[in-house]
Amino acid sequence: MHETSIAMGLLNSLEELAEREKAKRVVKVKVKIGKLSGIVVDSFVFAFNALKEQSQKLKETELVVEEVPITYRCKDCNHTFQTESVFFPECPKCGSLKLELISGEELEVVNAELEV
């Protein structure tokens, strides 16, 4: 389950941030996870919540996850659309397969709230 190693990496980064900023604790962290990222959100949240207990500065940290939908732009008609399908989607407007992925692969920390 690679979600555990990703959660551990996030927690390590938050611990380093708290130390660098001389914070008492990390109150909240918000992350964006795209539907095409390969991350199972429930597993990631479970791993984060289990592992955060090992750190005084992180054990009460609230994790907020924003799931980012799969969004494409058609290169033929310029139509932008969202889909749940990860398998060869086509433009719902013109049927083209010439698509540009706009979002859905994200894994990023949006912000972290610290108590100093």
pLDDT tens sequence across 2-18: 999 999 999 999 999 99
Residue 9 has which token pair?
Answer: 């990496």
C-alpha pair distances (Å), 112 with each of 29, 72, 87: 4, 29, 34
**Residues annotated in the binding site, as ranges?**
2, 74, 77, 91, 94
Look at 86-90, 99-103, 106-110, 111-115 and tell me which has the smallest mean pLDDT: 86-90
Instruction: Give tens-digit pLDDT for 21-78.
Output: 999 999 999 999 999 999 999 999 999 999 999 999 999 999 999 999 999 999 999 9
67: exposed, middle or buried (Cβ count in 10 Å: 0-12, 13-18, 19+): middle
Q: Where are the domains positioned within the chain?
A: 2-69+104-115
**Residues annotated in the binding site for Ni(2+), as ranges?**
2
pLDDT at 47: 98
pLDDT at 84 over 90: no
CATH number corresponding to 2-69+104-115: 3.30.2320.50
The gap from C-alpha 51 to its chain's centroid, in whole angstroms, comes to 17
pLDDT at 1: 62
**Residues annotated in the binding site for Zn(2+), as ranges?**
74, 77, 91, 94
pLDDT at 87: 81
Instruction: Name the pTM for this structure.
Output: 0.88
Q: Are 61 and 25 in contact (CB under 8 A)?
A: yes
Instruction: Give tens-digit pLDDT for 16-36.
Output: 999 999 999 999 999 999 999
